[in-house]
Amino acid sequence: MIARALRQAAVLLALALLPAIVSGALQLGWKDSEPLAPGEVRAATVREWGDKVQWVDARSRDKYEAGHIKGAILLNEEEWNKLAPAFINDWDPDRPVVVYCDGGSCELSHAVARRLREEYKIGDVHVLKGGITAWSEK
Amino acid sequence: MRLLLLIPLLFLAPLAHADLKWDKLVQEFKRVPDDKEIEAHYVFHNTGTTPVTIKSVHSSCGCTTAKLEKKTYAPGEQGDVVLHFNFGDRKGNYLKGVIVTTDDKNVEPVTLKLYVEIHDPLTVAPALVFWRTGEAPTARTVQLTAEAAQHVKIKSVTSSNPNFTATLQTGQAGLNYTIAITPSSTAQKESADITVQTDFPADAPHAYTIFARIK
């Protein structure tokens, strides 16, 4: 009797979870298939790079101070002249630079990445697709 | 009989609506960083037959704000949306957009576009030179190029670290220069800031920094 009830509960649970699993799989698949803009990199790729990544937070100081990716250095266009020296002192030519913002079109991080490439001729600079939101999704 | 006279009004009623006509949806500006900000006016007219209320002006960036004197405009009335773009330390080409929506379903939301090119009178390329420790201490060169219409003379080039020398070579005075930066040794990590003092603009001449690092 108890075994039958447990079986029925398991079946019900599986049926309830099925739509969530399908939806999750579809969403992940959709995100992975979204095309990358030039210079962008996916969170999954950055995870493979591990600890060697040099993170740059392109958001405002307020947002950075409210929370940022561990080890990230603040560098935004609003305070570029003040913040750039600290970035340059910290920068390691043997580590890839990954710039992030909140998400969406990542206009802020693209602008910072462009300046690092054009003004400082730093080649290994990437923009995190989906920003900190994508990074926070495990 | 009187009711019959009202019948045409029933047909005309749906035709009554607001209609916003904009003088310019796109504006372009070229500025120098010292300008610090820009204000662009987007003039519109309500050419419709009913008042229109602007529900929102939504900016895509915190650096751009949009202002309206008031929200509701009568038929025939003119107004303007003022976009204010704070440069901060920005340089390069920027496109800022603001979406304007009204309470009238017949008036499609419009996007006001602001293109701004923020260009320094002198371009320093690159603004960072580096060597790896142990690498041969060969010179790195930096090109300084003035805007075509603008003569910028270099008054001095100084290094913050005596272990780095910075030598100025003049191509065309006021137009282009080269600075060769050389460390005396790359045995250990070191840094120098090379300061380039110009004569432009005359009232507050700019200085530029080139970062030299041994990594």
Domains of chain B: 17-118 (2.60.40.10), 122-214 (2.60.40.10)
Residue A64 forms contact with B (CB below 8 Å): no
Query: Structure tokens of A137?
Result: 């999704």
Q: Is the pLDDT of residue B170 over 60?
A: yes
Check B88 against A89: CB less than 8 A apart.
no
Identify whether the C-beta of residue B42 lies closer than 8 Å to the C-beta of residue B80. Answer: yes
Scanning every residue of chain A, which has its alpha carbon at the shortest distance from the alpha carbon of B210? A120
* Least confident among A123-132, B2-11, B14-23, B68-77: B2-11
pLDDT digits (tens, 9 = 90+) for B107-153: 889 999 999 999 999 999 999 999 999 999 999 999 999 988 889 99
A77 interface with B at CB cutoff 8 Å: yes
Cα Rg for chain B, rounded, in angstroms?
28
- Yes or no: say if B47 and B19 are a contact pair by the CB < 8 Å rule: yes
Q: Do A122 and B60 touch (CB under 8 A)?
A: no
The reported pLDDT for the residue numbered B93 is 93
Best of A90, A118, A122 to disrupt the B interface (most B CBs within 10 Å) is: A118
The SS3 assignment for B153 reads: coil
Chain B residues closer than 8 Å to A118 by CB: 92, 125
What is the domain class of A40-136 according to CATH? alpha beta
Six-digit token string for B110: 């419009």
Q: Which amino acid is at B5?
A: L
Q: Look at residues B11, B205, B39, B162 and name the one whose alpha carbon lies nearest to residue B112.
A: B39
What's the pLDDT band for A25 if we cut at 50, 70, 90?
very low
Closest alpha carbon within chain A to B36: A78
Q: Do A119 and B211 touch (CB under 8 A)?
A: no
Q: Is the dihedral of CA B93, A73, A88, A44 positive or negative?
A: negative
pTM of the model: 0.81
User: Cα–chain-centroid distance for residue B28?
Assistant: 10
Question: Hey, are the CB atoms on B62 and A115 less than 8 Å from each other?
Answer: no
ipTM exceeds 0.90: no
Tell me the mean pLDDT in the region A30-39: 77
Task: Compare B6 and B173 and report the one with higher pLDDT.
Answer: B173
Residue A110: list chain B partners with CB under 8 A: none
Q: How far is CA B97 from CA A1, A109, B26, in A?
A: 66, 17, 9
Residues of A in contact with B91 (CB under 8 A): 80, 115, 119
Of B88, B127, B213, which is closest to A119 when you measure between CB atoms?
B127
Annotate A54-119 with DSSP letters as a single string: EEEE-S-HHHHHH---TT-EE--STTHHHHHHHHHHH--TTS-EEEE-SSTT-HHHHHHHHHHHHH
Residue of chain A whose Cα is closest to the Cα of B215 = A92
